[in-house]
Amino acid sequence: MKKILLLFMVMFTVQTAYSQVLMTLIFGDLLNSDELEFGLEGGGNFSAISGLETKKYFSDWNLGFYFDILLKKNKPWYINTGVLVKSRVGAGKLTENDLALLADTVWNTPGTYNQKINYFLVPIQIKYRKKHFYGEGGLMAGLMYKAWVEYNSDLPGYTSVIKDFNKEMVNRIDIGAMVGTGYRFKGRTGWTVGVRYYQGFVDVYKDIPKTKNRSFFLKVDIPIGRGPKAQAKQAARKKEKEAKKATKEKQQEK
């Protein structure tokens, strides 16, 4: 029960990416067990929006935490979930037709325009591990909280960044399918590196059909609370708990 309460507290009461990381570091050794692996997840993504004229990908980085929940003891099947609390997707180098479609301002000086959208992303997948390799597949949902077209001036010796916020044009909820694979380094404390592909089902823009998010994610998973010190702390807590239980049972017998 204590682990479940901590799990919900971490997932639903922390408000910022930095706080999420802090909570992960504090409670990692409490949440990790033989049935549950908990840790930090970070990396980069390369995203585009279908239905726009531009075919250029937009790149950014992401950060969050993950859970691998064992479905059955001694079996290699897991449920993978978590939250990417800092994640930005979009489309790169919008064309003049794209800007007209989005009713965005076109500036007189040359430059590049990128659509940027911030989401909280929550994957729910089935993961299968085979020795050091794994495969996964399932769904991912996104909650949009900020969106804008960003203009960057290309004039030599002159820097200009202008944000034209268009959150009202973007659907708040995104959902789609995701598949991935990766490699887990040797040992219980080993890191995991992997790649994922996401294809959205929902139109990105409310009034522009056939605009779907698609992204490649490169990620690194770092288990928290799996090192020797954390394992020793877990063993000490378990021993203390068993001692208290034995003392209580003796008192009840009297």
96: CATH: 2.40.160.20
pLDDT the model gives residue 236: 58
pLDDT in tens, the chain (254 residues): 444 434 444 444 344 444 555 555 545 555 667 788 889 999 999 999 999 999 999 999 999 999 999 998 888 999 999 999 999 999 999 999 999 999 998 998 889 999 999 999 999 999 999 889 999 999 999 999 999 999 999 888 778 899 999 999 999 999 999 999 999 987 656 789 999 999 999 999 999 999 999 999 999 999 987 555 555 555 555 666 666 666 666 666 65
Tokens of 53: 């004229």
pLDDT the model gives residue 238: 61
- SS3 label, residue 30: helix
Q: How many structural domains compose the chain?
A: 1
Give, to the nearest 10 degrees, the angle between helix 17-31 and helix 2-12.
170
The CA distance from 210 to 41, in Å, is: 31
Structural domain harbouring 120: 2-253
Tokens of 220: 């690194």
The CA distance from 30 to 27, in Å, is: 5
pLDDT the model gives residue 14: 40
Cβ 175 vs Cβ 156: under 8 Å: no
Q: How far is CA 115 from CA 102, 107, 152, in A?
A: 10, 15, 12
